C-alpha cells in the first residue's frame, strides 16, 4: 500500500508536467491544425535563457520569468517567420519544417552552451515529507502542481472569459467568418503559438531539474510522452490533454515500479492503442462526422 | 502489359548502368551506393504510403528494425549450423520481409481507423517501443548492445581480390531495383488508383465500392515489407544490429527524406535516399574544411552540420514544398511546354 | 497515350538525373582517392609517410553520451600536439582524426568505413562505446586495421584469437566490481547491500563480479535501469524498502547524479559505492550543481589513473600543465583519460620503431612492459589484449576525490584479488616517453 501511494504521487507529479506540455500541443493544434514537433526544442531554448539569467543574476525567479518571456517571444517569432509560409500548404510540410527547426535549435544550443548537462536549480526543496514513514510529496512537487494548475486555470479563463480568448477560439474554428467580423486571424495564431511556447517553457523548467540536467536533447522524451497524452485525451481537447497527461504519468510510474523500467514504453503503446481502438479520436473527442 | 514491360526495361537499363558504376568507383563509394540503395527500399515504400495513400507513419524505423533483427537472428542461426553459402542471405531477407509484413498487418489493422495526428501518435509510439523490445527480451536481442551479424563473404567465383563493398553494393542494388519495379507497377495498377482514391476522398471512395479499411491495411503492409527489406539489407551491410540504429530519429529522417525528395513520387524517393547519405557527409567535410581553434571545433563539430541540415530542410520546405522532384517537374514542364502554360492561364497542375 | 508518354519522359529524366549525380559522385570519389593517397613511404603502409602517421577514432561528440566523454579525444589530441611540437615520434607527426558518431552504432559504421577506406588511417585509436564499437570489430578485422585501446570496459576486446588486432584499455567491469565488492565485504561486513546496474554488458558484467565476491545471495536487492528512462525513483524506493545501507552502482555519470538526487529526495542516505565509469568527482559535481555537491561526500569509487585532485602526483601536474598551455577545458577525469591514452599510444609508436607497419605496432603492444601514468599494471601479451588489470579504491571527502588503501589486481574469472605493490612510474622531464 505504501508503495502504491508513493508511486501514485510520483506519477501524478510527473503527469502534471506532461499535462502542461500536452496542453501546449493541443493549443497549437486547435489554432493551426499543426502538430508542433518543435515544441520540446523551443521549450529547452527558453529553459536555457532562464538558466543563463538565473546564473547571472543569482535569482531563480528572475530566471523563471525570463524563461517564460523568452518562450513567448520564441513562439511568436517562429510562427510568424517560419511556420506562416507553410501553414496553408500540404499538411506534412509544417511537420518537416518543425523537425528542421528542432535540428537547428538543438545544434545552436549545443554550439553556444556545449552538449554537457547543466544543473537547473529548483526554488523549493526536493526532499519529501514523510507521513508514517512513507515519503509523500515534497515542497517542489507542490510547486509543480500549483504551477500547472495556475496555467490551466489561467488558460481556461483566458479562453472563456476574455475577448482575446474568444477571438482566438473563433480564428481556430472558423477563420473566414472571423476575418469577415474583423478579427486579425494571423495575430491570433501568433498569440496562440506564443502562449503554447510559454506553457512548454514552464513544463521544461518544472521537469528538467528532476532528470539528468539541462542539455539540448532534454525534452525529446517528454515530447513523446506528452504527445501520447495529447492523442489519448483527444488532440483538440484541453481537458483531455490534462487527463491524458496525468494518466500517462501514472501508467509510467506504476509500470516502472511494479514491473521494470524496460517495459514502460510498451505499456504506453498499449495504453495508446487501447484508447484509440475504442475511441479513434481520443477520449474527449466530439464526433464531427457521422457515417451511416 | 505495356506498362509492365516498360517498367521492366527501365529497371533493367538502370541496373546495367549502376552495376557498371560499381566498378568505376572506389570501395568507400560502393559502400555509400549500397547504403543509398538500402535506404531507397524504405523511402520508396514510405512515399507510396504517405504520398499515394495519405497515411502518415512516424514508425517506419521500427519496421526496419523488425526486418533487421530477423535477418540478424537467422543469419547467426545459419552460421551456428555452419551454413555459409550465399543462399542463406536470400532466405534471411525473405524471412525479414515476412516478419515486417506481419508487424505491418498488426499495426495496419490497429491504425486503419485512425487519421492524421492519431495515426501519427500510434506510429510514433511504435517507433519508441521497438528499441524497448530489444531490452525487455535482452536474452535473445542483447539489449542496447545489439547483435553482430555473421555474413558470408563474397563468392569465391568472383576472385579473391573482389572488394566486399562492391559485393554489398550489388546485393543492395538488386533489392532496390526489385522494390522500385514492384512499386512502380503497383502505383500504376488498380491498387494504386484505390490508394489515391481513399487519400483524396474517403467517402467518395466508399461510395464507389472501395473497401477503405482493406486498402489502408494493404498500403501499410506493402510499405512495411519494403521497410523490412531495407532493415534486413542494413543488417547485412553493417554486420550489426542495435536498438539505437533504429531509433525515433531514423523514422523521422525517413520522413524528411521522403518529403524532401518529393512526396508520392518514386524518383523523389531516390532523391531522398541520396540526400540521407550524401548530405551529412557533405556538411561534415564543409565544417572540417574550415580552420577552427580546438575549443571552437569541439563545439561546432557535430553541431554545425546538424544546424545546416535543419536549415536546408526549412528553406526547401518553404521555397519548394513539393520537394526536389516537384522542382524538377516544374522545370521540365516549363522547358517542354512553354506555349501551353500561356494558354492555360492559372493552369491546372498535376 | 500522352499521359503515359509524360510518365516515360519524367521517369527517364529522373533516371538521367540520378545517373548524372552518380557519375559526379564517382568523379569526386575518383579524384578524392588520388588526393587522399597518403600511402607514400617505402612500405606503402596506409596512413604512414616519412613525416606523418594518421590515426582515427569514433567518438560521441554530440548526443546523450557526449557530456564528459566528448572531452576525451580533444585531450588525446592535445597530447599529440605537444609531442609533435617536440619533433613527433621517429620523425613523424601524429595526426588524430576523430569523427562524431553520436553514440549511434549505425553512424559508427559509416564513420569507421570513411576513416579506413577513404582517409586510409593507419589505425583506429580509442573507439568509444560498447554497442558502437562491437559493430565494427569484424570490419576492422577483415581490413587488418589495428584497433587500439578501445574506450570501454567490456570483455569483448580481449579475444586475441578471434580479433588479433583489437586491444582493450581500461579495466573491465568484472575486474573492477570484484575489487569494489571486496572492499564492501571487508569494510561494511554484515550490512545489507543493494546493486543498480545499466541494462547491458556494463551492468551485467559488473553484477557478475559483485556476485563472485559476495555470493549469489549476497545482495539484498538488485535492479537495473535503462538510459532512456530517467525516473529511477521506483528502483531507489525498492532499495530503501529493503533497508540497504550500502548501495553499489554501475551507472554512467548522468545516472549516478540522478540516483543521488532521487535518494536525497526520499531522505535515503546509504553508503554509495560507484564504478569508475560514473564516479568522477568533477563530472558529478557539475551535474548536481552547488546544492547537490554535498551529496557526494563519502562516495566510494575506483580508479586506475592518477587522481585529478592529487596535485602532488607528477603525472597530474604534467598533464594539467600541457592542458592549460593548450587552453583546454576544465581538467577532470575524462581529460586525464584522454592524456593517458595518448601517452600509451606514443609509447607503442616508439616501440614499433622507425619502420612502422600495422603488424609492427600490434607486435609492439603484445610485447608489453609499458610503464606510464596508470597506477595498476597493463596486462598486454600475446594471449591477453585487455589492458589495465585492477583498480584502487578512491573516496570523496572534503570536496576532493583521493585514493585510499592499496592497489588490487584480479581477473574477470574466479581468480583471487591480489595486492599490487610496485611503485608507480614517474614521467620524464619533458613528459614524452623515453624511446
C403 within some domain: no
What DSSP string runs through B292-342?
--HHHHHHHTTHHHHHHHHHHHHHHHHH-TTHHHHHHHHHHHHHH-HHHHH
Rounded to whole angstroms, how far apart are CA atoms C220 and C215?
A: 11
Q: How far is C33 from chain B (nearest CA, A)?
A: 7
Contacts of B132 in chain A (CB under 8 A): 262-266
Q: Look at B307 and A107 and tell me if their CB atoms are within 8 Å.
A: yes
The stretch B200-209 carries a mean pLDDT of 90
Q: Look at C266 and A135 and tell me if their CB atoms are within 8 Å.
A: yes
A248 within some domain: no
Q: Which of A224-233, B124-133, C79-88, C394-403 is predicted with the least confidence, judged by mean pLDDT?
A: B124-133
Beta-carbon count within 10 A of A160 CB = 10
Q: Look at A260 and C230 and tell me if their CB atoms are within 8 Å.
A: no
For chain B, percent of residues with pLDDT exceeding 70 = 92
A291 within some domain: no
A228 touches chain B (CB under 8 A): yes
Nearest to B151 by CA among B250, B14, B46, B34: B34
Residue of chain B nearest A109, judged by CA positions: B303
* pLDDT greater than 50 at residue B216: yes
Buried b (16+ CB within 10 A) or exposed e, B89-118: beebbbbbbebbbbbbeebbebbbebbbbb
A33 within some domain: yes
Strand B147-148 relative to strand B240-241: parallel, antiparallel, unpaired?
antiparallel
The stretch B325-333 carries a mean pLDDT of 86
Buried b (16+ CB within 10 A) or exposed e, C396-417: beeeebebeeebbbbbbeeeeb
| Residue-level pLDDT at C351 | 92
Neighbours of B, requiring at least 3 CB pairs below 8 Å, are A, C
Note whether C109 and C71 are same-domain residues: yes
A256 within some domain: no
Rounded to whole angstroms, how far apart are CA atoms C345 and C127?
A: 13
The stretch C173-202 carries a mean pLDDT of 90
| Residue-level pLDDT at B338 | 64
Residue of chain B nearest C114, judged by CA positions: B28
Structurally, how many domains does chain C consist of?
Answer: 2
Q: Look at B116 and A266 and tell me if their CB atoms are within 8 Å.
A: no
Identify the residue whose cell numbers are 559508427.
C108
Rounded to whole angstroms, how far apart are CA atoms C349 and C361?
A: 7
C352 within some domain: yes
B positions 136-175 inside 8 Å of A (CB)? 136, 138
Q: Return mean pLDDT, chain C.
A: 85
A75 within some domain: yes
A128 within some domain: yes
pLDDT tens, residue by residue, C42-66: 458 889 999 999 999 999 887 667 7
Q: Give whichever of A84-98, A108-122, C121-135, C333-347 has the largest mean pLDDT.
A: C333-347
Q: Look at B247 and C326 and tell me if their CB atoms are within 8 Å.
A: no
Note whether C183 and C278 are same-domain residues: yes
How many angstroms separate the most distant Cα atoms in chain A? 63
* pLDDT greater than 80 at residue B276: yes
The stretch C83-105 carries a mean pLDDT of 90
| Residue-level pLDDT at C43 | 53
| Residue-level pLDDT at C13 | 47
C positions 195-224 inside 8 Å of A (CB)? 199, 223-224
Confidence of residue A133 (pLDDT cuts 50, 70, 90): low
A103 touches chain B (CB under 8 A): yes
> Do C224 and C196 form a contact (C-beta atoms < 8 A)?
yes
| Residue-level pLDDT at B174 | 94
The stretch C202-217 carries a mean pLDDT of 89
| Residue-level pLDDT at C40 | 39
| Residue-level pLDDT at C36 | 37
Q: Look at C74 and B294 and tell me if their CB atoms are within 8 Å.
A: yes
pLDDT tens, residue by residue, A137-166: 788 888 988 998 898 888 888 888 888 888
pLDDT tens, residue by residue, B33-42: 999 999 999 9
* pLDDT greater than 90 at residue B180: yes
Confidence of residue C273 (pLDDT cuts 50, 70, 90): very high
Confidence of residue C11 (pLDDT cuts 50, 70, 90): low
Choose from A119, A220, A264 for mutation: most chain C CBs within 10 A. Answer: A119
Q: How far is C400 from chain B (nearest CA, A)?
A: 27
C257 touches chain A (CB under 8 A): yes
pLDDT tens, residue by residue, C355-389: 999 999 999 999 988 998 999 999 999 999 999 99
In the three-class reduction of DSSP (H, G, I as helix; E, B as strand; rest coil), residue C394 is classed as strand
B positions 28-87 inside 8 Å of A (CB)? 50, 56
* pLDDT greater than 80 at residue B350: no
Confidence of residue B334 (pLDDT cuts 50, 70, 90): confident
Residue that finishes a domain, picked among C269, C303, C337: C303
The stretch C204-225 carries a mean pLDDT of 90
* pLDDT greater than 70 at residue C87: yes
Q: Look at A265 and B125 and tell me if their CB atoms are within 8 Å.
A: yes
C231 touches chain A (CB under 8 A): yes
Confidence of residue C30 (pLDDT cuts 50, 70, 90): very low
> Do B54 and B198 form a contact (C-beta atoms < 8 A)?
yes
Q: Look at B294 and C77 and tell me if their CB atoms are within 8 Å.
A: yes
Rounded to whole angstroms, how far apart are CA atoms C282 and C290?
A: 12
A92 within some domain: yes
Contacts of B262 in chain A (CB under 8 A): none
What residues contact residue B246 under an 8 Å CB cut-off, 6+ apart? B61, B62, B64, B65, B68, B130, B131, B231
Note whether C72 and C184 are same-domain residues: no
Confidence of residue B284 (pLDDT cuts 50, 70, 90): confident
Tell me the torsion sign for CA atoms B111, B112, B118, B124. positive
Nearest to A92 by CA among B50, B243, B74, B39: B50
Q: How far is C68 from chain A (nearest CA, A)?
A: 7
Q: Look at A116 and C233 and tell me if their CB atoms are within 8 Å.
A: no
Q: How far is A269 from chain B (nearest CA, A)?
A: 6
Rounded to whole angstroms, how far apart are CA atoms C72 and C60?
A: 10
Residue of chain C nearest A14, judged by CA positions: C231
Strand B240-241 relative to strand C52-59: parallel, antiparallel, unpaired?
unpaired
Choose from C234, C261, C333 for mutation: most chain A CBs within 10 A. Answer: C234
Note whether C138 and C244 are same-domain residues: no
| Residue-level pLDDT at B151 | 84
For chain C, percent of residues with pLDDT exceeding 90 = 46
Domain assignment of residue A33, given as a range: 2-215
The stretch A201-225 carries a mean pLDDT of 85
CATH of the domain at C294: 3.40.50.2300
Q: Which of C68, C229, C264 sits opposite A261 (nearest CB)?
A: C229
Q: Which of C10, C105, C138 sits opposite B242 (nearest CB)?
A: C105
The stretch B111-138 carries a mean pLDDT of 82
The stretch A83-98 carries a mean pLDDT of 82
Joined together, the cell numbers standing for residue B196 give 489515391
In the three-class reduction of DSSP (H, G, I as helix; E, B as strand; rest coil), residue A130 is classed as strand
| Residue-level pLDDT at B248 | 83
Structurally, how many domains does chain A consist of?
Answer: 1
Q: How far is C72 from chain B (nearest CA, A)?
A: 11
Note whether C313 and C358 are same-domain residues: yes
> Do C244 and C221 form a contact (C-beta atoms < 8 A)?
yes
Q: Look at A221 and C230 and tell me if their CB atoms are within 8 Å.
A: yes
Neighbours of A, requiring at least 3 CB pairs below 8 Å, are B, C
C433 within some domain: no
Q: How far is A137 from chain B (nearest CA, A)?
A: 30
ipTM of the modeled complex: 0.82
Note whether C286 and C208 are same-domain residues: yes
Domain assignment of residue C237, given as a range: 173-303
* pLDDT greater than 50 at residue C408: yes
B positions 87-116 inside 8 Å of A (CB)? 110, 113-116
Rounded to whole angstroms, how far apart are CA atoms C259 and C253?
A: 10
> Do C166 and C137 form a contact (C-beta atoms < 8 A)?
yes
Strands (E), A145-224: none
A278 within some domain: no
DSSP 8-state symbol, B83: -
Note whether C294 and C194 are same-domain residues: yes
What residues contact residue A246 under an 8 Å CB cut-off, 6+ apart? A12, A15, A16, A18, A19
Q: Which of C241, C254, C292 sits opposite A117 (nearest CB)?
A: C254
| Residue-level pLDDT at B34 | 93
Residue of chain A nearest C265, judged by CA positions: A127
| Residue-level pLDDT at C250 | 92
Q: Look at C138 and B29 and tell me if their CB atoms are within 8 Å.
A: no
Pairs across A and B, CB distance < 8 A: 143
CA atoms within 13 A of residue C432's CA, in its CB half-sphere: 18
C143 within some domain: yes
Q: Look at A269 and B129 and tell me if their CB atoms are within 8 Å.
A: yes
* pLDDT greater than 70 at residue A63: yes
| Residue-level pLDDT at B74 | 94
Predicted structure pTM score = 0.81
End-to-end CA distance of chain C: 80
Pairs across B and C, CB distance < 8 A: 145
* pLDDT greater than 90 at residue A204: yes
For chain B, percent of residues with pLDDT exceeding 90 = 34
Note whether C177 and C288 are same-domain residues: yes
Note whether C188 and C291 are same-domain residues: yes
Neighbours of C, requiring at least 3 CB pairs below 8 Å, are A, B
C14 within some domain: no
Amino acid at each position: 500500500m505504501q508503495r502504491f501511494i508513493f508511486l501514485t504521487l510520483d506519477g501524478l507529479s510527473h503527469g502534471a508536467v506532461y499535462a502542461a506540455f500536452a496542453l501546449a500541443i493541443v493549443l497549437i493544434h486547435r489554432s493551426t491544425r499543426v502538430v508542433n514537433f518543435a515544441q520540446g526544442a523551443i521549450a529547452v531554448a527558453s529553459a536555457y535563457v532562464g538558466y543563463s539569467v538565473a546564473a547571472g543574476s543569482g535569482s531563480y525567479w528572475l530566471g523563471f520569468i525570463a524563461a517564460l518571456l523568452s518562450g513567448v517571444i520564441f513562439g511568436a517569432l517562429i510562427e510568424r517567420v517560419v511556420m506562416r509560409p507553410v501553414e496553408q500548404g500540404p499538411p506534412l510540410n509544417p511537420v518537416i519544417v518543425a523537425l528542421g527547426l528542432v535540428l537547428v535549435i538543438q545544434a545552436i544550443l549545443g554550439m553556444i552552451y556545449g552538449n554537457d548537462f547543466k544543473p537547473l536549480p529548483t526554488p523549493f526543496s526536493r526532499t519529501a515529507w514523510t507521513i508514517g514513514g512513507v515519503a509523500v510529496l515534497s515542497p517542489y512537487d507542490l510547486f509543480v502542481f500549483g504551477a500547472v494548475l495556475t496555467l490551466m486555470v489561467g488558460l481556461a479563463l483566458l479562453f472563456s472569459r476574455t475577448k482575446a480568448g474568444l477571438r482566438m477560439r473563433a480564428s481556430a474554428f472558423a477563420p473566414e467568418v472571423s476575418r469577415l467580423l474583423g478579427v486579425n486571424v494571423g495575430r491570433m495564431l501568433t498569440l496562440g503559438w506564443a502562449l503554447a511556447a510559454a506553457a512548454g517553457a514552464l513544463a521544461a523548467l518544472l521537469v528538467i531539474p528532476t532528470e539528468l540536467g539541462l542539455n539540448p536533447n532534454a525534452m525529446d522524451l517528454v515530447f513523446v510522452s506528452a504527445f501520447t497524452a495529447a492523442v489519448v485525451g483527444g488532440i483538440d481537447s484541453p481537458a483531455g490533454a490534462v487527463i491524458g497527461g496525468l494518466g500517462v504519468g501514472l501508467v509510467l510510474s506504476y509500470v516502472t515500479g511494479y514491473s521494470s523500467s524496460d517495459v514502460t514504453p510498451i505499456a504506453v503503446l498499449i495504453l495508446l492503442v487501447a484508447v484509440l481502438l475504442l475511441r479513434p479520436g481520443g477520449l474527449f473527442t466530439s464526433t464531427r462526422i457521422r457515417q451511416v | 502489359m505495356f506498362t509492365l514491360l516498360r517498367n521492366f526495361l527501365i529497371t533493367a537499363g538502370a541496373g546495367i548502368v549502376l552495376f557498371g558504376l560499381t566498378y568505376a568507383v572506389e570501395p568507400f563509394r560502393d559502400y555509400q551506393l549500397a547504403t543509398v540503395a538500402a535506404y531507397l527500399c524504405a523511402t520508396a515504400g514510405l512515399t507510396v504510403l504517405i504520398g499515394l495513400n495519405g497515411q502518415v507513419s512516424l514508425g517506419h524505423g521500427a519496421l526496419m528494425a523488425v526486418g533487421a533483427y530477423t535477418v540478424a537472428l537467422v543469419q547467426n542461426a545459419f552460421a551456428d549450423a555452419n551454413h555459409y553459402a550465399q543462399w542463406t542471405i536470400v532466405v534471411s531477407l525473405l524471412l525479414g520481409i515476412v516478419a515486417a509484413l506481419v508487424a505491418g498487418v498488426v499495426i495496419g489493422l490497429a491504425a486503419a481507423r485512425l487519421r492524421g495526428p492519431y495515426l501519427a501518435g500510434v506510429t510514433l509510439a511504435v517507433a519508441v517501443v521497438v528499441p524497448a523490445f530489444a531490452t525487455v527480451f535482452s536474452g535473445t536481442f542483447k539489449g542496447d548492445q545489439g547483435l553482430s551479424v555473421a555474413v558470408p563473404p563474397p563468392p569465391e567465383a568472383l576472385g579473391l581480390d573482389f572488394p566486399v563493398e562492391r559485393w554489398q553494393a550489388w546485393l543492395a542494388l538488386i533489392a532496390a531495383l526489385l522494390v522500385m519495379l514492384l512499386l512502380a507497377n503497383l502505383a500504376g495498377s488498380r491498387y494504386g488508383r484505390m490508394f489515391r482514391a481513399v487519400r483524396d476522398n474517403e467517402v467518395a471512395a466508399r461510395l464507389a465500392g472501395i473497401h477503405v479499411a482493406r486498402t489502408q491495411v494493404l498500403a501499410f503492409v506493402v510499405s512495411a515489407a519494403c521497410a523490412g527489406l531495407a532493415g534486413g539489407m542494413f543488417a547485412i551491410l553493417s554486420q550489426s544490429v542495435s536498438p539505437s540504429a533504429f531509433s525515433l530519429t531514423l523514422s523521422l529522417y525517413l520522413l524528411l527524406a521522403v518529403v524532401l525528395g518529393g512526396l508520392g513520387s518514386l524518383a523523389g524517393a531516390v532523391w531522398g535516399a541520396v540526400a540521407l547519405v550524401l548530405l551529412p557527409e557533405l556538411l561534415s567535410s564543409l565544417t572540417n574544411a574550415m580552420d577552427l581553434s580546438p575549443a571552437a571545433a569541439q563545439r561546432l563539430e557535430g553541431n554545425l552540420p546538424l544546424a545546416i541540415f535543419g536549415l536546408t530542410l526549412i528553406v526547401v520546405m518553404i521555397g519548394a514544398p513539393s520537394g526536389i522532384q516537384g522542382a524538377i517537374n516544374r522545370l521540365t514542364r516549363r522547358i517542354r511546354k512553354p506555349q501551353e502554360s500561356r494558354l492555360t492561364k492559372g493552369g491546372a497542375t498535376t | 497515350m500522352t499521359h503515359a508518354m509524360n510518365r516515360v519522359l519524367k521517369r527517364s529524366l529522373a533516371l538521367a538525373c540520378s545517373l548524372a549525380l552518380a557519375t559526379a559522385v564517382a568523379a569526386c570519389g575518383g579524384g578524392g582517392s588520388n588526393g587522399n593517397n597518403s600511402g607514400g613511404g617505402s612500405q606503402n603502409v596506409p596512413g604512414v609517410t616519412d613525416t606523418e602517421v594518421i590515426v582515427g577514432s569514433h567518438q560521441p561528440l554530440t548526443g546523450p553520451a557526449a557530456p564528459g566523454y566528448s572531452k576525451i579525444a580533444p585531450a588525446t589530441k592535445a597530447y599529440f600536439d605537444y609531442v609533435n611540437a617536440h619533433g613527433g615520434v621517429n620523425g613523424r607527426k601524429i595526426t588524430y582524426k576523430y569523427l562524431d558518431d553520436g553514440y549511434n552504432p549505425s553512424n559508427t559504421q559509416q564513420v569507421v568505413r570513411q576513416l579506413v577506406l577513404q582517409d586510409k588511417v593507419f589505425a583506429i585509436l580509442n573507439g568509444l562505446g560498447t554497442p558502437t564499437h562491437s559493430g565494427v570489430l569484424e570490419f576492422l578485422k577483415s581490413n587488418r586495421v589495428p584497433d587500439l585501446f578501445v574506450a570501454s570496459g567490456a570483455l569483448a576486446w580481449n579475444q586475441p584469437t578471434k580479433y588479433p588486432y583489437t586491444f582493450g584499455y581500461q579495466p573491465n567491469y568484472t575486474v573492477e566490481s570484484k575489487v569494489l565488492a571486496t572492499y564492501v565485504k571487508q569494510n561494511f561486513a554484515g550490512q545489507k547491500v543493494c546493486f543498480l546496474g545499466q541494462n547491458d554488458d556494463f551492468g551485467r558484467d559488473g553484477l557478475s563480479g559483485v556476485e563472485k565476491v559476495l555470493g549469489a545471495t549476497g545482495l539484498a536487492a538488485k535492479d537495473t535501469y535503462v538510459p532512456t528512462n530517467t525516473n529511477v525513483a521506483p528502483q531507489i524506493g525498492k532499495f530503501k524498502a529493503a533497508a540497504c545501507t550500502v548501495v553499489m552502482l554501475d551507472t554512467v555519470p548522468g545516472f549516478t547524479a540522478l540516483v543521488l538526487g532521487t535518494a536525497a529526495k526520499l531522505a535515503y542516505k546509504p553508503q554509495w559505492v560507484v564504478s569508475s565509469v560514473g564516479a568522477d568527482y568533477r563530472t558529478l559535481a557539475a551535474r548536481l550543481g552547488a546544492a547537490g555537491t554535498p551529496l557526494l561526500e563519502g562516495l566510494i569509487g575506483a580508479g586506475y589513473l592518477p587522481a585529478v585532485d592529487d596535485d602532488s602526483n607528477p603525472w597530474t601536474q604534467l598533464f594539467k600543465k600541457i592542458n592549460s598551455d593548450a587552453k583546454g577545458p576544465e581538467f577532470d577525469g575524462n581529460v586525464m583519460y584522454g592524456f593517458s591514452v595518448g601517452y600509451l599510444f606514443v609509447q607503442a609508436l616508439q616501440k614499433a620503431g622507425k619502420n612502422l607497419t600495422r603488424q609492427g605496432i600490434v607486435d609492439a603492444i603484445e610485447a608489453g612492459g609499458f610503464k606510464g601514468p596508470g597506477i595498476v599494471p597493463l596486462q598486454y601479451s600475446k594471449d591477453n589484449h585487455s589492458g589495465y588489470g585492477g583498480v584502487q579504491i578512491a573516496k570523496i571527502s572534503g570536496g576532493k576525490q583521493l585514493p585510499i588503501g592499496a592497489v588490487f589486481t584480479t581477473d574477470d574469472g574466479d581468480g583471487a584479488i591480489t595486492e599490487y605493490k610496485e611503485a608507480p612510474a614517474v614521467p620524464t622531464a619533458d613528459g614524452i616517453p623515453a624511446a
